[in-house]
Amino acid sequence: NAFSNHKQKGEQALTTTPKPMTRPQLRVLHALDMARTQLYHFRTVMIAGMGFFTDAYDLFSISLLADLIGDLHYGGTDYDGERLPRRMRAALFSVAFCGTISGELIFGWLGDKMGRKRVYGMTLILMVASSLASGLSLGGCMDGSAVIVLCFFRFWLGVGIGGDYPLSATIMSEYANKRRRGAFMAAIFTMQGFGILAAGIVSMTVYAAFRNSSRMSSDYIWRIVLMFGAIPAALTYYWRMKMPETARYTALIDKNANKAALDMSTVLSFQVVPEEGAVNELAREDQYGLFSTAFLQRHGIHLIGTSACWLLLDITFYSLNLFMEHTMVKKPSFNDGIVDMWKITAIHTFITLGGTLPGYILTVALVDRIGRIKIQLFGFFMMSIFTLCLAIGYNDWKHKKIAFGFLCGLTFFFANFGPNTTTFIIPAEIFPARLRSMCHGISGAAGKIGAIIGVLGFIYMNEQKMMYVLSGCNVIGLIFTFLLPESKGKSLEEITGEIVEMQLSEDITQELAAAEHIHIVPM
């Protein structure tokens, strides 16, 4: 009949339609994907996570110190109800983000060209040096020159932080097994929450120590807090340098099958046989670049999605931190800056413990069960609801501190059990290996552009109107999420279309399964 004839023609069309070039997965990459969770996974989380701890500590601590710095270096003069002139507040908050944009793009590109490990140590050295230099910023006590010097060093701190984002994400995604990859990457990002918490605890401790000190001695407070951020990052430098290059870079980009097999044999404690023939075949394949038509057709919409979602998320995430600290504490009296800063820091720490950290931890537990896209959609949806509630009753919420703090805490919870974590994970999974670090850097740079927009909006826009803008950003972020593919439980090469998903030959599968440190999961 007509229906069966139409069906047969359709089947013939499907069998004759040309398919994109794909290949079986390399043995070494298959071994990584199927490996059971073991020590090297947790070691990688800690090594990369300490960088994120420092990133978050340095980026968020400045908001706790800004008014104290203004009190000490601008004489406590009332600048429209603030201690710090508006232009200097904008510069102090946004200059590190400007550096982060540069770092994400530069080191993201270098990570694909020179290797992930090779440039990983550079970002750490830059972060440590800039953190120490920030605390040593020289200048006059009342003329604001020290703040200008501080802004210079915070720019370079931002460059180091920016480089850490794409490299840490790419390294973890390429080391992890496919069943727990999302959890490992979320665990790295969870260190951001601990960094935010540490910024509050360290600030409160130093404030308490100097509470009864003289005005000149109080200048040590912000310097000590900023310099402390260098310590955890410096402790991991040795281990970063000991990490082998990822097998995906070595095999798929550097085309060195022997080295990839040797490095991963050490990591997995299992002998992986190199596949020179397969790697040589890869070298002959047509590999498209970032600005090629092939990339635009295959991944252009994905890059738009990851960049837009990260930009819209960071507009809300960073500006809401400033809104919270600004609204929860009564306007400063300009006679006890340390007490005012202690109150701000205490509130910040409480909300981090109650909302921010639980969101991160829940994502670690559920991201490989629920999936990245569902978590991101739900997070954006709930954030839009709570920011809309804040906007509608903003004038009332300002006088109901506990209710305002509760709504902020819920917003941060769903940001972290939502797009704040997934926007970090997804770009490191859905792009091909030779462009993975660069595309993550582009996505993250878009996010930091959003952070700058959020900071400037907080400083220059009407607060209630800005809340409506934040709610709208979350709705738009939800819409852009539909452009992204789900990557849960898949090999990186399967996600990007570089391999056909298939069983390895029986002898290879049995060989891997027999290894003591490898657990093969049925595909």
CATH of the domain at 220: 1.20.1250.20
Do the domain assignments include residue 8? no
Residue 241 to residue 51: CA distance in whole angstroms: 13
Do the domain assignments include residue 422? yes
Do the domain assignments include residue 13? no
Decide: 360 and 418 in contact? Cβ < 8 Å: no
Do the domain assignments include residue 6? no
- Residue among 201, 218, 171, 176 at smallest CA distance from 56: 201
Do the domain assignments include residue 260? no
Give the pLDDT confidence score for residue 339 in this predicted structure: 67
The model carries a pTM of 0.86
Q: Taking the CA atoms of 204, 210, 214 and 219 in sequence, report the sign of the dihedral they define.
A: negative
* Encoded amino acid at 225, one letter: V
Name the token pair of 356.
């921010």
Residue 19 to residue 98: CA distance in whole angstroms: 42
Regions in the chain scoring below 50 on pLDDT: 1-21, 332-335, 501-509, 511-512, 515-523
- Residue among 514, 37, 468, 31 at smallest CA distance from 274: 31
Domain that residue 145 falls in = 25-243+292-500
Give the pLDDT confidence score for residue 358 in this predicted structure: 92
Give the pLDDT confidence score for residue 9 in this predicted structure: 44
Do the domain assignments include residue 476? yes
Report how many domains make up the chain. 1
DSSP annotation of 115: -
Tens digit of each residue's pLDDT (9 = 90 or more) over 241-250: 888 888 888 8
Do the domain assignments include residue 14? no
Do the domain assignments include residue 285? no
